[in-house]
Amino acid sequence: MFTGLVQTVGHLAVLNPEQVKISGSAMSVILQGLELGDSVAVDGVCLTVTEILDDGFVADVSPETVNRTTLGRAADSAKSVNLETSLRVGSKLGGHFVTGHVDGVGTFHSAAESATSWEMRFNTESDQVARYILPKGSISVNGISLTVANCAPDGSWFTVAVIPHTYAATNLCELKPGDWVNLEGDILGKYVERFLRGEKPGAEVPDRVSMDFLAEHGYV
């Protein structure tokens, strides 16, 4: 479990189809107390440390992870990635609960700077992502906890307001139009959907939860 508050940025290199290496000059905050078997969010993807290096670590990646996330599209060497170690009991929760289980990928569309923030727009064709996108809801973009400012009714695009510190301290500032990003919807929305579905296998789940649907099922 993570918070979506990125601690540092490292560089990802694909060693082989089943392993990646994360390294960098600012890895001390990640390496401090890191042990084999620990979880680290790499651009929002929960990976397990299998080898600790002087300047980073090595992690295994499964076929499911490769297929569902940007790691399967990271052929470039030294790709910048956001890093966060797992949440510890008693730690501050400044973002939102991020599991590191990416729902799907999206693409960066554009960014516009204002006096107080960067407004960034992202697109996604993944219904597994889009169904959980709603105004003022939480979303993880490359492992960063962000709040949706606006979105399409079907969730196919959304915008977020990013403060200058987050923009500069993460790989958001390096994105170019069309670049892939990892997206994870708010876990609370997934549980609400599950409760609305009920326990019967195959029970119908609405494409979009409406006020009428909530009233019919006793939620309002």
Amino acid at 168: A
**H or E element in which residue 189 lies:** helix 187-197
pLDDT at 217: 66
For the chain, the domains span: 8-85, 104-189
pLDDT at 151 over 90: yes
pLDDT by residue (tens digit) across 57-112?
999 999 999 888 998 776 545 589 999 999 876 676 777 889 999 999 999 999 99
> Given this chain, do its domains 8-85 and 104-189 carry the same CATH topology?
yes
Average pLDDT, the chain: 88
pLDDT for residue 122 is more than 60: yes
> DSSP characters for 94-151?
-S--B-S---EEEEEEEEEE-SS-EEEEEE---HHHHTT--TT-EEEETTEEEEEEEE
User: What is the value of pTM for the model shown?
Assistant: 0.84
CATH classification of 8-85, choosing from 2.40.30.20, 3.40.50.150, 3.40.50.720, 3.40.50.620? 2.40.30.20
Domain 104-189 has CATH 2.60.40.10: no
Residue 208 in tokens: 């979009």
- pLDDT level of residue 199 (50, 70, 90 thresholds): low
Q: What is the pLDDT of residue 1?
A: 86
